[in-house]
Amino acid sequence: MKGYQNSLYPEDWIAVARRDLARVDRNLNENDIEAAGFFLQQALEKYLKAFLLENGWKLQKTHALHTLLDYAIEFNSQLETFRSLCERVTGYYLTERYPQLTAPEIARVDIEEDLEEARKLIKALFGEDQ
């Protein structure tokens, strides 16, 4: 899409993140675990970018949650506790988007546990449930 630009308004990113989070539940209900993992990654990416934009960060193209977390920690050092979540969930994006010689098995329980922890990260970012 030539000439396309992403919004710089945090509320726009949050609106799309909410939709992605709803897609996690919908895909879990349909037993599409890989898609649930993908949309969990997408939701967290957008929530982190919204938080960063809210704090004056210049929008960058990246899907690596741990990289976005590095920037977010500059504004709130307590977010470091979510590093392992970000590293795991980044892997869900890669699993769904790129062919691999040996595809890792993603278990439903892993997505459910990460979703629970993701909700805690969202609360830490915005001080309320999104």
3-state DSSP call for residue 102?
coil
Taking only the tens of pLDDT, the chain with its 130 residues reads 455 577 888 999 999 999 999 999 999 999 999 999 999 999 999 999 999 999 999 988 888 999 999 999 999 999 999 999 999 999 898 665 555 544 567 899 999 999 999 999 999 999 875 5
The answer to whether 59 touches 94, Cβ cutoff 8 Å, is no
Q: What per-residue confidence (pLDDT) applies to 101?
A: 42
The answer to whether 65 touches 44, Cβ cutoff 8 Å, is yes
Domain range annotation of the chain: 10-126
The CATH number corresponding to 10-126 among 3.40.50.920, 1.20.1250.20, 1.25.40.10, 1.20.120.330 equals 1.20.120.330
